[in-house]
Amino acid sequence: MLCGLSLSIQEKQAVDEAFEHGIINIADVLEKVEIMKNKEILEQHEQFCKIWQATDGRYKTKLPDDSKPNGKKMIAKTCKADLEKYIIKYYKGRQEKKENPRTMKALYPEWIKFKATDTSPANATKPQWVWNTYYADSEIANMDIASIDVIVMKEWFLKVIGNYELSSKKYKEMKSVANMLLDYAVEKRLVSINVSRCVHGINSKKFTEPPKKKVTEQVYIDDEAKLLIEEAERHYKKTHNVACLAICLNFSLALRVGELVALKTEDFSDSTVKIDRQEVKVYYIDESSTFRRNDYKISPHTKTKMGKRELYLSVDAKKYLAMILEHNKNSGFKSDFLLLDDKGERIHEYAISNVLRELNRKIKTPQKSNHKIRKTCISFMTSSGQLTNEEIRIFAGHEDFATTQKYYEFPTNSMNKRADAYEKALSYTKKV
């Protein structure tokens, strides 16, 4: 019952009996034990450094501090009793840290759950992957957070950059987890500053920049889009898989795959379609604090606030919409959703991806996702010269055209097909 006291079996039995019969008051005993512990702490401190009264009347002493050059820090109080209270609290805090080190690894499960609550489980899966890749088995994750200074943190970052040959983008991705986790530690008052956010000035030469992807990997070039659509139509006639028609439709809508599979028949008018929802993945967290996907659901929000938009329906879009509606009618489906499987249930994003992989193989093009269809459609709109930047930005659902221009504008013809354009641009003699 009295933890930390060395008693014989007979003495312990006698004490327990005294407690049972009310002879000893447990509150009084615990108070006396605490007084004894405090006295012991002060006696041990006196061996490290005496308490003295300075000429200014204040009481002073020095406490152990590994962060100081001489391993000590000065403390002063106007009252000796206040100084003794500070000393006792300081040593108890050091002992608690020693027995229960506050490491990033110990804090991670608590933080990742908070991250999921603060944002969403889906948003927690990316930092989860980063943690498992770089941090989980690292030395930095097992260090007491309070002992990590800026230099230690920066040296570890440099080590990871070298070992994994990180690009600057991957480094920022990796560092963001330390930033967020230590922000949480600051908010929990485990530490006073976030040393990760204090790390600056990593030499750009330390990073390994990956080769830029070829245009042939970013969009469907030359006649690839036409070939893919023709192959999708053939595949639909053979299999009646509506995902084939969804792919054809999206070459005219440039939707994110989550937006595509969330379409409802009510979204369509004679000439436009409204985009105001998306499919998202549903996750649960297991006993090891790992998020795992186990379902899908429809979110009444798009990826960004600009994602809610109304798009023009081209002749091609109307053609594939009509084919999908006819398919649903002939199948006797009654769902409000547009894209349905052979049981009349809404299809998920993986249904699009699976069919697209097969179609890419059939036309012998590099594997390209639905996102590449989106890029292809937007690139065609840009190169047509028929639409303003603002019209294209709204169609894409971007907040600014700079995003569209930087990440979604690609040449859709190979260099061989652009030979005439190059000749006209580079034929100086003909311009004279």
pLDDT in tens, 369-403: 999 999 999 999 999 999 999 999 999 999 999 98
Q: How confident is the model at residue 22 (pLDDT cuts 50, 70, 90)?
A: low
Could you tell me how many helices (H) and strands (E) the chain has, helices first? Answer: 17, 7
> Element (H or E) spanning 114, and its range?
helix 104-118
Helices 242-250/370-384 angle, 10° precision: 30
Q: How confident is the model at residue 212 (pLDDT cuts 50, 70, 90)?
A: confident
**pLDDT at 20 (0 to 100):** 64
Residue with tokens 């061989």: 416
Phi, psi at 87, each rounded to 5°: -60, -45
> Element (H or E) spanning 310, and its range?
strand 309-312
Query: Quick one: tokens of 206?
Result: 């330390």
**pLDDT at 428 (0 to 100):** 72
Average pLDDT for 230-236: 98
> Element (H or E) spanning 326, and its range?
helix 315-331
**pLDDT at 210 (0 to 100):** 85
CA proximity to 371, closest of 315, 410, 321, 313? 410
**pLDDT at 430 (0 to 100):** 61
Q: Is the dihedral of CA 146, 152, 157, 160 positive or negative?
A: negative
Picking from 21-30, 107-116, 194-203, 399-408, which range would have the lowest pLDDT averaged per residue?
21-30
Whether residue 130 has pLDDT greater than 50: yes
Whether residue 70 has pLDDT greater than 50: yes
Q: Does domain 219-410 bear CATH number 1.10.10.10?
A: no
**pLDDT at 160 (0 to 100):** 97
Whether residue 407 has pLDDT greater than 90: no
- For residue 264, the cross-strand partners are 337
User: Does 205 or 211 have the greater pLDDT score?
Assistant: 205
Mean pLDDT, all residues of the chain? 89
Distance CA 192, CA 311 (A): 50
Contact 103, 141 (CB under 8 A): yes
Q: How many CA atoms lie within 13 A of 381 on its CB side?
A: 25
User: Does 197 or 286 have the greater pLDDT score?
Assistant: 197
- For residue 297, the cross-strand partners are 280
- For residue 73, the cross-strand partners are 63
Q: How confident is the model at residue 9 (pLDDT cuts 50, 70, 90)?
A: low
Whether residue 5 has pLDDT greater than 50: no
**pLDDT at 337 (0 to 100):** 98
First to last CA, the chain: 103
**pLDDT at 375 (0 to 100):** 95
Average pLDDT for 107-132: 91
Whether residue 146 has pLDDT greater than 70: yes
Question: Helix, strand, coil proportions of the chain in percent (round to 5)?
Answer: 55, 10, 30
Contact 377, 249 (CB under 8 A): no
DSSP 268-303: B-SSEEEE--EEEEEEEE-TTS-EEEEEEEEESS-S
CA proximity to 317, closest of 369, 383, 390, 395? 395
Q: How confident is the model at residue 53 (pLDDT cuts 50, 70, 90)?
A: very high
**pLDDT at 429 (0 to 100):** 65
Identity of residue 341? D
**pLDDT at 278 (0 to 100):** 96
**pLDDT at 17 (0 to 100):** 63
CATH fit for domain 104-206, picks 3.40.50.2000, 1.10.540.10, 1.10.150.130, 3.40.1190.20: 1.10.150.130
Whether residue 3 has pLDDT greater than 50: no
Whether residue 344 has pLDDT greater than 80: yes
Phi, psi at 365, each rounded to 5°: -115, 155
Integer angstrom CA distances of residue 275 from 33, 165, 183, 244: 69, 40, 36, 20
Q: Which of 117-121, 178-182, 385-389 has the highest mean pLDDT?
A: 178-182
Distance CA 10, CA 199 (A): 60
Q: Where are the domains of the chain?
A: 9-99, 104-206, 219-410
Residues 6+ apart with CB under 8 A from 4: 33, 37
Q: Give the chain's length.
A: 432
Q: Which of 122-126, 213-217, 329-333, 418-422 has the highest mean pLDDT?
A: 329-333
Average pLDDT for 51-80: 90
Whether residue 62 has pLDDT greater than 80: yes
Average pLDDT for 343-349: 97
**pLDDT at 15 (0 to 100):** 56
Q: How confident is the model at residue 18 (pLDDT cuts 50, 70, 90)?
A: low
Task: Return the number of other C-beta atoms located less than 10 Å from residue 75's C-beta.
Answer: 18
Whether residue 40 has pLDDT greater than 50: yes
**pLDDT at 11 (0 to 100):** 53
Distance CA 87, CA 145 (A): 22
**pLDDT at 431 (0 to 100):** 52
**pLDDT at 211 (0 to 100):** 86
Contact 369, 284 (CB under 8 A): no
**pLDDT at 421 (0 to 100):** 72
Residues 6+ apart with CB under 8 A from 368: 217, 219, 220, 356, 360
Whether residue 238 has pLDDT greater than 60: yes
Contact 308, 275 (CB under 8 A): yes
Helices 315-331/242-250 angle, 10° precision: 160
The DSSP call for residue 58 is -
